[in-house]
Structure 1
Amino acid sequence: MPSILLVVFVLQLAIHLVNTIGASTINSLLWVLYTRLLPSSSKASEEQTELKSQFMKVRKELNATSSQDEFAKWAKLRRQHDKLVEQLEKNKSSTDSTKTTFDSTVSTIRWIGTNGLRLFIQFWYSKQAMFWIPKGWVPYYAEWLLSFPRAPLGSVSVQAWGLACGAIVLLVSDAIVAIVSLAVGAGSQKAKEPMKVPSEKAAQGGTKKEL
């Protein structure tokens, strides 16, 4: 079984990643994987694509047909057009309903696996010490804060450890973003620097012949 210290750190890291990337972005990526990997969803997506292709073809042909000169052909194309529109709207409604259910399920699972699990751990281990502070290292008020709310005095509670992990993850994340930004900025600045062209005097001096 992994150490509770490691579990809390991984949870804080996962929560930070979700907050940084965004829940909607994660749901969209998972939805793409779901529609591609699940046979039924993949088949429905292919049918939707085929219907759209047929619709565009019929619509193009309908626009090119005169309702006065070729009424019979125009009427036939119009019926096909309306039927395809109805099928597309029906499939879209079904897909939207499935996606709404999928997003709700994924959001629930994600919350239970991150914030829900964090709250459970904080409740279950609230009276246990994550580790002990050597006696005399910190004053009494610091010991009390580190053991808050119900851990033994002189120890670090799971809540304090979670806050510390969250702060470390945030600092490291900000440092990585700053380093990447500096590297990208330096690279773009170097690319924008104009190439130095030798002056006319320097060119003449370089080609001057000795007598």
Structure 2
Amino acid sequence: MPSLLITVLFLNIAIYVINTIGAATIDSLLWLLYIKLPTGTSHIAREQRRLKLDVVQLKREMNATSSQDEFAKWAKLRRRHDKALEAYEAKNDQLTQSKSSFDMTIKSVRWAATSGLMLFLQFWFSKTPIFTLPPGWIPWQVEWVLSFPRAPIGTVSIQIWGGACATVVALVGDAMGATVGYVSGPKKEREGIKVETRVGEKEGKKGQ
């Protein structure tokens, strides 16, 4: 089944990318995008940021005002500060609860769309061969292993194909990461040498 073959491959690529980047990083990026949308949560986020700025500004004004020489002004600022702080904490609690619900939803959707879907496919298509091997191409013992657990002998099961895809994707991903690191490494070293050279030249001029 070519479509199933490609689906399993892309699922393994998606799982590898998520694990490499980090689920927490992806969740944070999605949250930032979500609060930019015209929703009730985005309104709460804007109010929370505005109140935070108000609290900081009022705190600065309080610190710049003497509580002894200008007590009336200081007391008025203190009341405004406490009121703004209370409102900020209330909005912050609402935003925290919204983020917790958002994170839970994203985690559930991500698991269902990747690992959950993979488990479902492996169960539902456990008897379906991904592709058929040429007759007599390999020993029957190897054919039995490749068809494990329930695919017909002489074929490759979805479980074996999924494991092979995961291994190859990980190897290719690690190789690409190592290549990028190797290429960018000398460039960073050259930049470091240039900086050290400039610093040395400046110190030499000062010494003269």
TM-score normalized by structure 1? Answer: 0.86
1:131-142 equivalences under 5 Å are 131-142=131-142
Query: If you compute each CA radius of gyration, which structure gives the higher value, 1 or 2?
Result: 1
**1:165 aligned partner:** 165
Deviation per residue, 1:64-96 (Å, 9 max, x gap): 222222222222111111111111111111111
Deviation per residue, 1:125-183 (Å, 9 max, x gap): 00111111111211122111100000001100000110111111111101111211111
Is the helix fraction higher in 1 or 2? 2
DSSP 3-state at the match of 1:37:
coil
Say if 2:38 is the partner of 1:18: no
* Structure 2 CA distance for partners of 1:191 and 1:48, relative to 1, 3 Å: closer
Shift of 1:26: 0.7
Shift of 1:189: 4.1
Query: CA-atom RMSD, angstroms?
Result: 1.8
Amino acid in the other structure paired with 1:183 = V
Q: Give the whole-Å Cα distance in 1 for the aligned partners of 2:192 and 2:68.
A: 62
TM-score normalized by structure 2? Answer: 0.87
Q: Give the whole-Å Cα distance in 2 for the aligned partners of 1:78 and 1:25.
A: 38
Q: Give the whole-Å Cα distance in 1 for the aligned partners of 2:65 and 2:184.
A: 55
Q: Is the 8 A contact 2:122 2:158 kept in 1?
A: yes
* Segment of structure 1 superposing worse, 53-62 or 22-31: 53-62
DSSP 3-state at the match of 1:3:
helix
1:85-124 equivalences under 5 Å are 85-124=85-124
1:34-183 equivalences under 5 Å are 34-183=34-183
1:21-32 equivalences under 5 Å are 21-32=21-32
**2:6 aligned partner:** 6
**2:201 aligned partner:** none
* Structure 2 CA distance for partners of 1:71 and 1:193, relative to 1, 3 Å: closer
Q: Give the whole-Å Cα distance in 2 for the aligned partners of 1:52 and 1:190.
A: 43
Give unmatched runs, 5+ long, in structure 2. Answer: 195-208
DSSP 3-state at the match of 2:36:
helix
* Structure 2 CA distance for partners of 1:2 and 1:86, relative to 1, 3 Å: farther
Q: Give the whole-Å Cα distance in 1 for the aligned partners of 2:114 and 2:95.
A: 28
DSSP 3-state at the match of 1:36:
coil
- Percent identical among aligned pairs is 49
Deviation per residue, 1:2-36 (Å, 9 max, x gap): 70111100111111111111111110000000001
